[in-house]
Amino acid sequence: MSTQALFSQQLSINGPWKGFMEAAGRKMDIIVLFEKSEGEWKGKLSSETQQLKDIAISNIVVENLTVTFDVPLAGGQWAGQLSKEGDKLAGDWIQGAFKATLNFAKQKEAPEFKIKVREQTPVGPFPYKVQEVSYKNERDGTTLAATLTTPNGEGPFPAAILLTVAGENDRDQSHGAPQHKPYLVLADYLTRQGVAVLRADDRGVGGSSGNIFDSTIEDFAYDALAGFNFLKGLSQIDNSKIGFIGNSEGTLVGPLAASINNETAFIITLGGIGITGAEVILDQVDAMGQLSQLNETTIAQMKDRTQKMFDILLSEPDRAKAAAKLRAFLEDSKVPGADSSLFLIPASIDAQAKMFSSPWYRYQTELDPAPVLQKIKCPFLALHGNVDPFVSPDKNLAAIAENLRIGGNQHYGVIKLKGINHVFQDAQTGSPADYTKNEVSFSPRALELIGSWLKSTLMF
């Protein structure tokens, strides 16, 4: 055994680390916290400078003294070396074409700091009940940690289960710095209107067990049904008026859960998907390329590269073999001028191959929502912003409406809202680069529309 391997057996990255990075003309603090759970490394990233708190770290790999990890929310990766003394991590932060030195020093305790609050973010005390709850998906044993907000009084109250966008999200669907918390805003608004709201951390985030990338949208649907069954067991909830509200990927999860459970009272989709996953992703590449002002040749090359990735996944069912083929393909087919961060994917080829070959990504590329939508008979409202580059509004709204009509749904509506982006902020552009710049976390127009539709549909 090598001397390095002997050292690595005795050392651990467990605990808090703090470092500083120069970017955009300023010095930013970066705090990472690692812990090992059930033999697997988990981590969080925070930054007082960037007003980020507990952002999920994934793909943490510790081999001898080499350490790497990804931060999916930022589309970046850190790679470096642990010192032989075990108290320093020296390496680089890579985010698309950007690369900067980022070294960490071991801390006795994680530094504490206050997060600035967006103007629209609700702050207690609240005129309703707030409970921290958990429940289990009995199908695979996953535990979901959640917050339940319930109007004051005996009830019974209608209830909405919130379903998040793709990726590793907390129950508030937090993003940006200072953080937007759109699902906290939505839950607060609806609970004040008389609707109980259940919102959970995604798998592997916060207090929830499991791992998103080892799971599929079908698994998430059963997580949603576990929440449904949890609510059914509460005396203050009206069992005949429980439904789902989802954004982006959540618009696939809700209908799939409802197709399994005919007790679902309603579905609301925000930036809903009505076409195949592969088609959605190809449209994303096109729209994001145009938004980023890439030329038509580069966009065409990116779409061709994406289609060939799909072909590899279709032809190779074995996960490890698919990852190896994808890694080789991605290395040999780089597109000049196409920054991976524009498309919200990890910076490194290894991380991309791992994500693209995961059950989560494979399932969504192959999923066709048409048969699911045709099974939905409950009231259905599809809302979509007109500046959404991630899910084409016209194409998807048309597909949702057509499939609901084919299935005989008698109570549905599709509405395109002007000046609203993919995460339902009031916005002039749909660029994710503007999410943080936008002051509004969740469009008041959309909140009012959702609330009035629920009142008229559920008659409470």
**DSSP, residue by residue, 267-324:** EEEES---S-HHHHHHHHHHHHHHHTT--HHHHHHHHHHHHHHHHHHHH---HHHHHH
Q: Dihedral through CA 428, CA 399, CA 369, CA 228, nearest 10?
A: 70
350-375 per-position pLDDT tens digit: 888 999 999 999 999 999 999 999 99
Q: Dihedral through CA 360, CA 442, CA 347, CA 365, nearest 10?
A: 30
In sequence order, which residues have a C-beta less than 8 Å from that of residue 456 and are 6 or more positions away? none
Assess if residue 68 is contained within a domain: yes
Task: Say yes or no: 14 and 95 in one domain.
Answer: yes
Contact 243, 268 (CB under 8 A): yes
Contact 140, 146 (CB under 8 A): no
Assess if residue 264 is contained within a domain: yes
Is the overall model pTM greater than 0.95, yes or no?
no
- Computed from CA positions of residues 55, 56, 59, 65, in that sequence, does the dihedral angle turn out positive or negative? positive
Contact 217, 363 (CB under 8 A): yes
Helix, strand, coil percentages in the chain from 3-state DSSP, rounded to 5: 35, 30, 35
- Give 311's strand partners: none
Of 349, 365, 381, the last residue of a domain is 365
- Return the structure tokens found at 107: 């801390």
- Give the Cβ contact number of residue 217 at 10 Å: 20
d(CA 273, CA 444): 23
Where residue 246 falls among pLDDT bands split at 50, 70, 90? Answer: very high
Task: Say yes or no: 167 and 262 in one domain.
Answer: yes
Assess if residue 281 is contained within a domain: yes
d(CA 258, CA 253): 9
Task: Say yes or no: 180 and 318 in one domain.
Answer: no
| pLDDT score of 6 | 40
Q: Which domain holds residue 354?
A: 277-365
* Distance linking the first and last C-alpha atoms of the chain: 70
Task: Say yes or no: 14 and 94 in one domain.
Answer: yes
Where residue 339 falls among pLDDT bands split at 50, 70, 90? Answer: low
Give the mean pLDDT of 312-320. Answer: 96
Q: Which residue has the tokens 């890694």?
A: 327
| Total structural domains within the chain | 3
Give the mean pLDDT of 386-391. Answer: 96
Task: Say yes or no: 333 and 374 in one domain.
Answer: no
- Give 52's strand partners: 47
Of 309, 343, 365, the last residue of a domain is 365
| pLDDT score of 197 | 98
DSSP strands (E only) in 401-452: 412-417
- Give 245's strand partners: 162, 268
Q: What values do phi and psi take at 448, rounded to 5?
A: -65, -40
Contact 145, 226 (CB under 8 A): no
- Return the structure tokens found at 307: 């289609």
Of 308, 337, 365, the last residue of a domain is 365
Q: What is the CATH number of the domain that holds 89?
A: 2.40.128.120
Assess if residue 230 is contained within a domain: yes
| pLDDT score of 310 | 96
For residue 141, CA distances in Å to 108, 137, 151 come to 35, 5, 30
Contact 330, 312 (CB under 8 A): no
Rg of the Cα trace of the chain? 22
Where residue 344 falls among pLDDT bands split at 50, 70, 90? Answer: low
Task: Say yes or no: 248 and 381 in one domain.
Answer: yes
| pLDDT score of 96 | 66
Sheet holding 128-137, edge to edge: 128-137, 142-151, 196-200, 157-163, 237-247, 267-270, 380-385, 412-417
CA angle 344, 91, 74 (to 5 degrees): 15
137-195 per-position pLDDT tens digit: 999 999 999 999 999 999 999 999 999 999 889 999 998 878 899 999 999 999 999 99
Length of the chain: 460
Amino acid identity of residue 201, one-letter, is: D
In sequence order, which residues have a C-beta less than 8 Å from that of residue 276 and are 6 or more positions away? 365, 366, 367, 368, 369
- Bond prior to 16 in cis (omega within 30° of 0): no
45-57 per-position pLDDT tens digit: 999 988 888 888 9
Task: Say yes or no: 269 and 403 in one domain.
Answer: yes
Position 277 pLDDT exceeds 90: yes
Contact 202, 169 (CB under 8 A): yes
